[in-house]
Structure 1
Amino acid sequence: MFVKIHEAYRKTVAVCDAELLGKRFEEGKKQLDVSKEFYGSEKKNEKEVLEILKDAALDDSTFNLVGKKAVAAGIKSGLISEDGVMEIKGIPYALSLL
């Protein structure tokens, strides 16, 4: 998975599955643009991603998760529920604001 933390008023943690980086998915009026600029170039394993998510949750962060592995990490860390998962072209994604 790739991870990038954006620093602003509050942190935004962007996580995507490695195979989705650089791709764009469209379905009707919905669009997912999994850009390297937003999701970064820092590759992490599941354990590292879970640690980043849990630490960022303590900082009142927002989360943008794209792909099966990234969304599963969000569910496993307790940041999102399965009810909060959406899909575009079969690609799961979730947004969370704590």
Structure 2
Amino acid sequence: MAMFYIRRVETPEGLVMVLVTDEDVMERAVYDEERGVRIIVSRSFYGGSLGTEADAIKTIEKADIIVLTGEKSVSIGVRMGLVNPDSVLEVKGIKQVQVFKFSY
């Protein structure tokens, strides 16, 4: 069963930011020299508690800002209708996307 690191952070403005990261990309760093793009998946920033896909979905539903890192995490966002697959950044096999929900 796929496991995810799930971290919930409340911003000073009162927004909820959720980071969901595939367990297998934790502590990896990749750099694309041509594009000048780097993804560093550090436990100090992305680490939270380990949870299931259901835990990740439940946490994402309550978030204002979402950062999904890893193939499985990004695919959750796509299936939930929050992520356009064309907007996903991929650097040397690690996918990442940031989502901002707006309420009017």
Q: TM-score, normalised by structure 2?
A: 0.83
Asked if the contact 1:53/1:77 (under 8 Å) is kept, the reply is no
Q: 1:44 — aligned with what?
A: 51
Runs of 4+ with deviation above 2 angstroms? none
Asked if the contact 2:5/2:21 (under 8 Å) is kept, the reply is yes
Q: 2:84 — aligned with what?
A: 81
Q: 1:68 — aligned with what?
A: 71
Q: TM-score, normalised by structure 1?
A: 0.88
Q: 2:6 — aligned with what?
A: 3
Gaps of 5+ in 1: none
CA RMSD, 1 decimal: 1.1
Q: One-letter code of the match for 2:54?
A: K
Q: Secondary structure at the match of 2:82?
A: coil
Aligned length: 94
* Alignment partners' CA distance in 1, 2:45 and 2:83: 20
Q: Which has the larger radius of gyration?
A: 2
Q: Work out the percentage of aligned pairs sharing the same amino acid.
A: 26
Gaps of 5+ in 2: none
| More helix, by proportion | 1
